[in-house]
């Protein structure tokens, strides 16, 4: 299939074709989305990215390829949102490694006793690196979450204010959000309308319309978290509402 024909195919279908081993489609995606990749990399590096010379772009291109391989529409997020996060994570890892650790030092589990007299020091450096990495991931997820909330006309401050105070109420709200995510009709309604289908939900859960309305913002926020690639935010929900 020629590139001209591929241009008319929806992105989601192109992703599926590439995942199924279509190298022509994969190469088309890697070439066509170079400006998008460069933009994502530039947002991390805070400078213009030369696609021919900058190593960071190569990292971003590899990350985009990985995003194609890993993407699943079942998560609820768009491919470009997912790819943006994967690219930024990979590039920030690369930059931090390059800036903080001399090339002579390996971060492998093994070490050369002659060149590294104190392996405990190396382990400490690795731990600090891991902690900084996770802190960046959390900040990035929160930023992405705030942007997603804004599309529902919600803010992080609002969610903190309306979050149910009692554990049982929180568990119920999270359970309702999971129900919406797992029900295709409800999920599509919320993603399209950016609001809860209160009447339909009331038929499916043992909760009054008044309670649903009172917890509407919190349920929407949890629904967003469940549908996106938020590794750390989803950790907080493990075992809740199930």
Structural domain boundaries, residue 218:
156-235
What pLDDT sits at residue 110? 41
**Do 100 and 7 lie in a common domain?**
yes
User: What's the number of domains the chain is made of?
Assistant: 2
Looking at 61, 88, 104, the residue that finishes a domain is: 104
28 compared with 1, residue with greater pLDDT:
28
Band the pLDDT of 132: cuts 50, 70, 90. Answer: low
**Do 7 and 96 lie in a common domain?**
yes
Phi, psi of 213 (to 5 degrees): -65, -40
Band the pLDDT of 176: cuts 50, 70, 90. Answer: very high
Looking at 39, 70, 104, the residue that finishes a domain is: 104
Q: Give the contacts of 38 (CB within 8 A, at least 6 positions apart).
A: 49, 51, 57, 60
Q: Give the contacts of 63 (CB within 8 A, at least 6 positions apart).
A: 83, 86, 87, 89, 90, 91
| Distances from the Cα of 125 to the Cα of 116, 122, 138, angstroms | 13, 5, 20
In a domain, 109, yes or no: no
Question: What average pLDDT does this structure show over 42-57?
Answer: 87
Q: Is the confidence at residue 63, as pLDDT, over 90? A: yes
Looking at 104, 119, 146, the residue that finishes a domain is: 104
Q: Tell me, what CATH number does 59's domain have? A: 1.10.1740
What pLDDT sits at residue 107? 39
In a domain, 126, yes or no: no
Q: Is the confidence at residue 46, as pLDDT, over 60? A: yes
DSSP, collapsed to helix, strand or coil, labels residue 190 as helix
In a domain, 143, yes or no: no
Question: What average pLDDT does this structure show over 122-127?
Answer: 57
């Amino acid at each position: 299939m020629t590139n001209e024909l591929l241009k008319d195919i929806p992105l989601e279908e192109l992703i599926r074709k590439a995942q199924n081993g279509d190298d022509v489609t994969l190469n088309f995606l890697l070439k066509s989305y170079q400006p998008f990749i460069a933009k994502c990399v530039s947002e991390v590096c805070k400078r213009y990215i030369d696609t021919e010379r900058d190593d960071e772009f190569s990292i971003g291109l590899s990350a985009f390829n990985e995003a194609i391989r890993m993407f699943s529409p079942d998560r609820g997020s768009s491919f470009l949102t997912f790819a943006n996060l994967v690219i930024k994570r990979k590039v920030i890892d690369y930059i931090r490694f390059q800036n903080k650790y001399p090339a002579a030092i390996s971060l492998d589990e093994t070490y050369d006793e002659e060149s590294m007299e104190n392996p405990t020091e190396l382990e400490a450096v690795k731990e600090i690196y891991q902690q900084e990495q996770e802190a960046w991931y959390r900040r990035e997820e929160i930023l992405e979450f705030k942007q997603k909330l804004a599309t529902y006309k919600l803010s992080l401050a609002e969610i903190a204010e309306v979050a149910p105070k009692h554990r049982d109420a929180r568990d119920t709200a999270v359970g309702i959000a999971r129900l919406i995510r797992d029900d295709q009709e409800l999920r599509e309604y919320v993603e399209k309308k950016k609001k809860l289908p209160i009447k339909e939900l009331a038929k499916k859960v043992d909760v009054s319309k008044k309670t649903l309305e009172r917890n509407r913002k919190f349920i929407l926020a949890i629904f967003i978290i469940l549908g996106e690639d938020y590794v750390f935010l989803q950790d907080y929900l493990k075992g809740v509402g199930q």
